Chain A
Amino acid sequence: MGNKTRWLLDRSSDLNPRNMRLGMYAWVMQRLSGVYLVFFLLAHITAIAQANFGVTKGLQATILDALRNSFTAGGLSTTLFDLIALGIIAFHGLNGIRIVFLDLGFGVRAHRLSFWLFMAMAIAVSGYVIMLGLPMLAKAT
């Protein structure tokens, strides 16, 4: 094993799946989802900037138009793109609230239970937003 990958792959690494338990998976997923959301944020800013300045022709316009309002102007693929982002935002946000509570000292002993409770809330929040958007999606297609 190369020296460069020891921190990740070594038997003694905290990130070796054999050493990882629920809390560590939550930590890793929080970081991975965070990195994804930074890229999403930059893409979202770009899309809004260009859409608000009215690119009106061609493929670029179609993509930007769809990105501008996923529920009314999007095709299936952009809706899927936004739904994935919605799910990841809900995960990152709810798990983040849980982390703040843990940092404040609430629920440290029940952190495994609270993870699943907050994940249930993340699914509920995503479901609620999708439920709000469904009639608009049906109207647009």
Chain B
Amino acid sequence: MRVAQLGAWRSVFLWLLQRISAALLVVLLGLHIWASNFATDWASLLRAGVDISLLAVALFHGLNGVRTIVLDFGLGVQARRFVSVSLWMLGFAAFLFGMYGLWPLLFPS
């Protein structure tokens, strides 16, 4: 019973985080599209801050959304764990790769 309650609490927390990250994405994405296409003279530090935040928030929102969809197909406990762990690993790898890609923007030579 306690385990089930714990799982339910985590699901509610992830649901809430999905909404919070959605609101953040609306702001960050607007700044990102503006800064990378229309405002080339922007302070690069601010642009880097937007892009790093966007990288993390978008990856979380996207992969948590995939998790939601996959889990809606009704998987067992082990399969759920496997999906969650896989997506977290993919997310961390993509974040590191994205940071590698943003490096010239962070430290222009």
Complexed CA–CA distance, A52 and B47 (Å): 15
The reply to whether B36 and A46 contact each other, CB–CB distance below 8 Å, is no
Chain A residues, CB < 8 A from B25: 93
Spot the interface stretch: B5-13, B77-85, B93-101: B93-101
The reply to whether A52 and B63 contact each other, CB–CB distance below 8 Å, is no
Chain B residues, CB < 8 A from A132: 37-38
Q: A-B contact count, CB below 8 Å?
A: 66
Main secondary structure of the interface of B (DSSP, over half): helix
The reply to whether A136 and B59 contact each other, CB–CB distance below 8 Å, is no
Chain B residues, CB < 8 A from A35: 65-66, 69
0/1 interface trace, chain A 25-63, chain B, CB 8 Å (1 if under): 000000100110110011001101110110000000000
Q: Which residue of A lies closest to B19 (CB)?
A: A100
Known A-B contacts A38-B65, A96-B22; the reply to A48 vs B101 at CB < 8 A is yes
Interface residue range, chain B:
20 to 34
Q: Which residue of B lies closest to A69 (CB)?
A: B37
The reply to whether B69 and A52 contact each other, CB–CB distance below 8 Å, is no
Complexed CA–CA distance, A136 and B40 (Å): 12
0/1 interface trace, chain A 95-113, chain B, CB 8 Å (1 if under): 0110010010000000000
Number of interface residues, chain A, beta carbon within 8 A: 28
B103 interfacial by beta-carbon distance below 8 Å: yes
0/1 interface trace, chain A 66-83, chain B, CB 8 Å (1 if under): 000111100000000000
List residues of B whose CB falls within 8 A of some A CB.
19, 22-23, 25-26, 29, 33, 36-38, 55, 58-59, 62-63, 65-66, 69, 94, 97-98, 100-105
List residues of A whose CB falls within 8 A of some B CB.
31, 34-35, 37-38, 41-42, 45-46, 48-50, 52-53, 69-72, 89, 93, 96-97, 100, 103, 129, 132-133, 136
